[in-house]
Amino acid sequence: MFEYRLSDTDIIKDVTAKEVAKLQKDNSSDYMFNKYPEGARFLGYFKKDECVGTAGWIVRGKRIELIGAIVAEDYRGQGIYRKLFQIRENLCWKLGCEYLYSYATRMSLPTFLKNGFVEKKRYNNTSYVRKDKRI
Could you tell me what percentage of the chain is helix, strand and coil, using 3-state DSSP and rounding each to the nearest 5? 25, 40, 35
Q: What is the mean pLDDT of the chain?
A: 88
User: Are residues 3 and 14 in contact, defined by beta-carbon separation less than 8 angstroms?
Assistant: yes
> Can you tell me the mean pLDDT for 11-25?
82
CATH of the domain at 13: 3.40.630.30
> Can you tell me the mean pLDDT for 35-63?
90
| pLDDT attached to residue 28 | 45
Range of the domain at 127: 3-132
| pLDDT attached to residue 21 | 76
> Is the pLDDT at 41 greater than 70, yes or no?
yes
> Is the pLDDT at 63 greater than 50, yes or no?
yes
- Total domains present in the chain: 1
Half-sphere exposure of 68 (CA within 13 A, CB side): 30
The secondary structure of residue 38, as a DSSP letter, is T
